[in-house]
Amino acid sequence: MYWCFIIIRKMKPHVTFKLDYKRDARNYWKAANSTPAWGYDFSKVVLPKIKEKVKGKSWDKSKDYLYSLLRKNYKRDGKMINLVNKHFSEAWNLIEDEYFKRLAKIMKKPIYTNKFTAYITTIKRYPYNEKEDSFMVGFWESTVSTLLTAAHEIMHLQFYKYYWKQCRKELDNDKTDDLKEAFTVLLNKEFLDLIVHRDDGYPKHQKLRQYLAKQWDKTHDFNEVLGKGISYLKKQG
Q: What is the pLDDT of residue 14?
A: 98
- CA separation, residue 115 to residues 17, 111, 122, 154 (Å): 11, 10, 23, 11
Looking at the structure, tell me whether residues 180 and 157 fall in a common domain: no
Quick check: is 48 in a domain?
A: yes
Q: What is the pLDDT of residue 50?
A: 98
Looking at the structure, tell me whether residues 90 and 194 fall in a common domain: no
Q: What is the pLDDT of residue 26?
A: 98
Looking at the structure, tell me whether residues 154 and 87 fall in a common domain: yes
Contact predicate 85/120, CB 8 Å: yes
Looking at the structure, tell me whether residues 180 and 149 fall in a common domain: no
Quick check: is 211 in a domain?
A: yes
Looking at the structure, tell me whether residues 130 and 171 fall in a common domain: no
Q: What is the pLDDT of residue 95?
A: 98
Q: Which residues constitute the domain of residue 86?
A: 1-103+115-161
Task: Report the predicted TM-score, pTM, of the whole model to 2 decimal places.
Answer: 0.93
Looking at the structure, tell me whether residues 151 and 176 fall in a common domain: no
Consecutive H or E run containing 113: none
Looking at the structure, tell me whether residues 152 and 236 fall in a common domain: no
Quick check: is 92 in a domain?
A: yes
User: For the chain, which residues score pLDDT lower than 70?
Assistant: 1-10
Q: What is the pLDDT of residue 9?
A: 52
